[in-house]
Amino acid sequence: MPPIAQLLSKGVRMPAPDTVYVDGSVDPERIAPDVTIHPGCRLYGAELSIGPGCVLGAEAPVTVTDCQLGAGVQLAGGFFERATMLDGFCAGSGAHVRPGCLLEEAACIAHCVGLKQTILMPWVTTGSLINLCDCLMSGGTSRSCHSEVGSSYVHFNFTPHQDKATPSLIGNVPHGVLLNQPPIFLGGQGGLVGPCLLEHGTVVPAGQVWRGDVTVPGQLLAAVPSRRTAAVPYDPRRFPGIARIVRNNLAYIGNILALDLWYRAVRAPLMRGDPFQAACHAGARRRLDEILTERLLRLDEFANKVAQCLDDGLSASATAKHRQFVARWPALKAALAGSVAARQAVPVPPAVAGLAARLPAGDYPAAIGSLSPDDGRMLSDWLTRQVEEAVSLVAMGQ
């Protein structure tokens, strides 16, 4: 029986089935019976999984390739490839979601949003006409109190040196996973120049391009005065702030390792009882693996570019800093690769495993919200140690 016929026979709703394309690589058993697929949609990939209550293409055709969708996901229109979208995620028309994206419960993007190698934790919401690549965003306590990215916002992830060692943490994992942090606000018509670290509670007004770190939590207004346009000498061979770039990259990698551990130890017991949830759990772990692979690759490219600039007319002090980083990079690279490769063997404390086993399955935000303050601190401290292990490697690169 052709895939379309199989889906119709099991109860998938298609108002115009003749306009829908389902590739032969798709397993119909991985699509829930009450899914709605509107005209013009295209489905591809053996890893595709679509959970109950999902709606595809309500506003415009949707192309979905090797994605995993939880329950009640709504993709109004656009393109989605190798992304994992958990319960209640929604995307407006014109979305362009490329590989390496993990979009957690009730996160939402409006129309014409591009994402790649990006993690939006529960309830994070973006406006329209936005591009976010190579970043993680958390913060907020509910659907009505969430971190927000205003319309026409960009995370700038490509430098004049033509490198992408630019991942930004907008919030963090050790506190963000507890779903009890003050939201972050990035005002519209603005941008963030990676790699940045912004703590929960940060507020960046509309119209600002932010270039620094905000490392103190709380409701902090991060604003810069408007600048007059000026042409000044610029040498793309110089890499100022190497120490900050390396430190922020290690912090990002440490947070991704912590989130992977969270999925392995805490999320797994909550997502095993349902095949669509299990597919989302496996997909989330794949996305995190892809992100870690990408970060190591981009940091290695950055080190190679610094090496190429040596003995090329730089000042003595700049050359010394460049040489020191280049000389120490192989050891740092090996240590990072070892941490990534060994993450499956990182032991889970019995207290964490026991707590995870007691959490009620079903409503993930409600389960996390049921944690006592003491349990929350214990989990946060545990994940913080994972981040600190990665950040401690910074001494090898300086």
The reply to whether 217 and 246 lie within a common domain is no
What gap in Å lies between CA 130 and CA 94, rounded to an integer?
11
Low-confidence ranges of the chain (pLDDT < 70): 219, 222-229, 312-313, 315, 317, 395-398
Q: Is residue 227 part of a domain?
A: no
What gap in Å lies between CA 238 and CA 3, rounded to an integer?
56
Query: Could you give the number of structural domains in the chain?
Result: 2
pLDDT of residue 350: 96
Domain boundary among 221, 251, 282: 221
Angle between helices 350-358 and 373-391 (to 10 degrees): 130
Q: Is residue 146 part of a domain?
A: yes
Domain, as residue range, for 324: 242-397
The reply to whether 54 and 155 lie within a common domain is yes
The reply to whether 335 and 391 lie within a common domain is yes
The reply to whether 177 and 257 lie within a common domain is no
Please write the tens of the pLDDT for every residue from 227-279: 666 777 777 777 888 999 999 999 999 999 999 999 999 999 999 889 999 99
Q: Is residue 229 part of a domain?
A: no
Q: Is residue 234 part of a domain?
A: no
What does the block give as tokens for 370?
């049921």
The reply to whether 75 and 208 lie within a common domain is yes
The reply to whether 188 and 59 lie within a common domain is yes
Half-sphere exposure of 373 (CA within 13 A, CB side): 0
What gap in Å lies between CA 281 and CA 7, rounded to an integer?
24
Are 274 and 280 in contact by the 8 Å Cβ rule? The answer is: no
Q: Is residue 230 part of a domain?
A: no
pLDDT of residue 228: 64
pTM (2 d.p.): 0.95
The reply to whether 325 and 385 lie within a common domain is yes
Q: Is residue 73 part of a domain?
A: yes
Q: What is the CATH number of the domain that holds 206?
A: 2.160.10.10
The reply to whether 203 and 246 lie within a common domain is no
pLDDT of residue 327: 93
Q: Is residue 340 part of a domain?
A: yes
pLDDT of residue 218: 76
The reply to whether 58 and 174 lie within a common domain is yes
pLDDT of residue 330: 95
CB atoms < 10 A from the CB of 386, how many?
22
pLDDT of residue 227: 61
